[in-house]
Amino acid sequence: MTQRIKLDCRGIWKIYGDDPGGFLARHGDKPSLGQFAQAGMVGAVRNTSVSVMEGEIFVIMGLSGSGKSTLVRCLSRLIEPTAGEVYFEGRNLLEMSEAELIDLRRRKMGMVFQHFALLPHLSVLENAAFPLEIQGVDRRTREARAREMIETVGLQGREDYYPRQLSGGQQQRVGIARSLVVEPDLWFLDEPFSALDPLIRREMQDEFLRLQSLLHKTIVFITHDFDEAIRLADRIAVMKEGVIEQIATPEELVLHPATAYVEDFTRHIPRAKVVRLHSIMSAGVPAAAYAGELPGTMTVAEAADQVEAASAPFKVLDEAGVAMGTVASRAVIDVMIGRTMT
């Protein structure tokens, strides 16, 4: 891949307790879990490195207390990491002055919060326009821009409502509109759909994917819901007790879990939903009759109906549109019913 790295963090530590810096230094920058317990310190994030590529949806998944929220706050420097480096477009975030940081956040970053974090005294329109207001953009311009965003998230007609008059899903749409109003390059979403009902959550996930297909932002998405991670992610980082267990595409994660912990999550995930055709195709395209062509990035579940209905196999194309292999109905059925692949 030739994608550029948008956000790069190396060796992040976030330790809570008395004199965390000193504690880290005393233990050679690599204290063990036992040493944490002994000193009564909490290692919320331990020696974590993550690179987020431009334009990808990078999901950090972990249960509560896994340190995922702390990590994303270190990445956005909402909290100061105890140690480590965070590079955004090549500039070290942690060395920036307050003014530089404010400027960067105003122009380049947006964030969506679990509990929406809307300002209760402002209307939908004013909330969405708020990031521009604090930048001193004049009322006409900022409201026009905010209206545009409100329309994008599908809330037109509700501009003059106040947050408490909206449902949770609608409130989060306002949160999304607000975070996008400055056209950020990097978009943080901290468990944006966790506070919503399951049905609404699903709807919002679709909405999110639709938006991303329009906007192509670089996204860091936090969730505790593995299904959500699988559904949305280009790549997933699984966190446990402050440490990243594995970073991989959903497919790799399901097919090759690195640890038993990750495997626990993947066990109930239907393979067909994550496995893509290029993983099950038989390489090479012998001359024969084919029912058609399918992209290799398509999941088995998406391709299943077509492949099964056809009497002949399909060609599988790579990203450049060149046929690389074939897939027949048997391979698809193997995945769908969980027959072991060898």
| Beta carbon of residue 80, minimum distance to other proteins (angstroms, whole number) | 12
Closest to other proteins by CB, 121 vs 268, is 121
Q: DSSP H helical segments within the chain, as ranges? A: 20-26, 33-39, 68-75, 98-108, 124-134, 139-152, 168-180, 198-215, 226-232, 250-255, 260-266, 271-274, 277-280, 300-309, 329-337
| Beta carbon of residue 333, minimum distance to other proteins (angstroms, whole number) | 47
Q: What is the dihedral of CA 331, 335, 340, 342, to 10 degrees?
A: 50
Q: What is the dihedral of CA 205, 210, 213, 215, to 10 degrees?
A: -90
Closest to other proteins by CB, 87 vs 130, is 130
Q: Which residues here bind other proteins, judged by CB under 8 A?
A: 73, 76, 78, 102-107, 109-111, 113-115, 117-123, 130-131, 133-135, 160, 162, 165, 178-179, 182, 188, 190
Amino acid occupying residue 172:
Q
| Beta carbon of residue 288, minimum distance to other proteins (angstroms, whole number) | 56
Residue 152 vs residues 2, 71, 148: alpha-carbon distances, Å: 30, 30, 6
β-pair partners for 170? none
Closest to other proteins by CB, 187 vs 226, is 187
Closest to other proteins by CB, 123 vs 306, is 123
- What is the distance between the terminal CA atoms of the chain, rounded to a whole angstrom? 28
Closest to other proteins by CB, 53 vs 129, is 129
Closest to other proteins by CB, 25 vs 119, is 119
Torsion sign (Cα): 281, 285, 288, 290: positive
Closest to other proteins by CB, 109 vs 277, is 109
* CB within 8 Å of 303: residues ≥ 6 apart: 277, 294, 314, 327, 332
| Beta carbon of residue 73, minimum distance to other proteins (angstroms, whole number) | 8
Closest to other proteins by CB, 180 vs 307, is 180
Cα–Cα distance for residue pair 55/173, rounded to 1 Å: 21
| Beta carbon of residue 323, minimum distance to other proteins (angstroms, whole number) | 46
Q: What is the dihedral of CA 86, 90, 95, 100, to 10 degrees?
A: -110
Closest to other proteins by CB, 153 vs 247, is 153
| Beta carbon of residue 93, minimum distance to other proteins (angstroms, whole number) | 13
Torsion sign (Cα): 45, 244, 110, 159: negative
Coil, helix or strand at residue 43? strand
| Beta carbon of residue 166, minimum distance to other proteins (angstroms, whole number) | 12
Strands laid side by side in the 323-327 sheet: 282-283, 323-327, 314-317, 292-295
| Beta carbon of residue 83, minimum distance to other proteins (angstroms, whole number) | 22
| Beta carbon of residue 77, minimum distance to other proteins (angstroms, whole number) | 9
